[in-house]
């Protein structure tokens, strides 16, 4: 594995976006917290550095809202870990957030395009 990029080249995941990304990953398969953090970093091409300080509280919050649930299971290496999986409510929330995201980013893109043409 390549050495970590220098920290200041990474951006912090936006608070709201972190929940959406985590839900998206959990929608594919149940994962433990560490796996989730690894996956987030990998998929984003190391752009997103998920501060563990934000990930676990976010998971805790989503648990409380019943978007995800947690259970203790053995890993493939036979270690005990806490696995999170998405609930029905979580899927609904994910869809809502994706729709919201697309609306917002679409709007931002249109503004940028307009600004570039106009400028």
CB of 7 to other proteins, least distance (A): 10
**In this complex, which beta carbon is closest to other proteins, that of residue 34 or of residue 101?**
34
Strands (E), 75-110: 80-86
Q: How far is the CB of 70 from other proteins (least distance, A)?
A: 9
Give the nearest distance from C-beta 37 to other proteins in angstroms. Answer: 8
Q: Summarize as ranges the residues that interact with other proteins (CB under 8 A).
A: 1-3, 32-34, 37-38, 51-53, 56-58, 60-61, 63-66, 72, 79-82
Strands (E), 1-119: 11-12, 31-32, 48-49, 68-74, 80-86
Q: Are 45 and 38 in contact (CB under 8 A)?
A: no
Contact 87, 69 (CB under 8 A): yes
Strands 80-86 and 31-32: antiparallel
Residue number with CB closer to other proteins (29 or 71): 71
Cβ distance to other proteins smaller for residue 11 or 52: 52
């Amino acid at each position: 594995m390549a050495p970590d990029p220098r920290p200041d080249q990474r951006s912090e995941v936006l608070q709201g976006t972190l929940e959406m990304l985590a839900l998206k990953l959990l929608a594919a398969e149940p994962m433990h917290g560490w796996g989730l953090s690894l996956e987030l970093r990998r998929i984003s091409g190391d752009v997103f550095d998920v501060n563990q300080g934000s990930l676990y509280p976010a998971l805790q919050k989503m648990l409380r809202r019943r978007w995800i649930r947690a259970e203790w299971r053995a890993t493939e290496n036979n270690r005990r870990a806490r696995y999170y999986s998405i609930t029905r409510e979580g899927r609904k929330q994910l869809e809502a957030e994706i729709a919201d995201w697309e609306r917002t980013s679409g709007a931002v893109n249109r503004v940028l395009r307009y600004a570039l043409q106009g400028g």
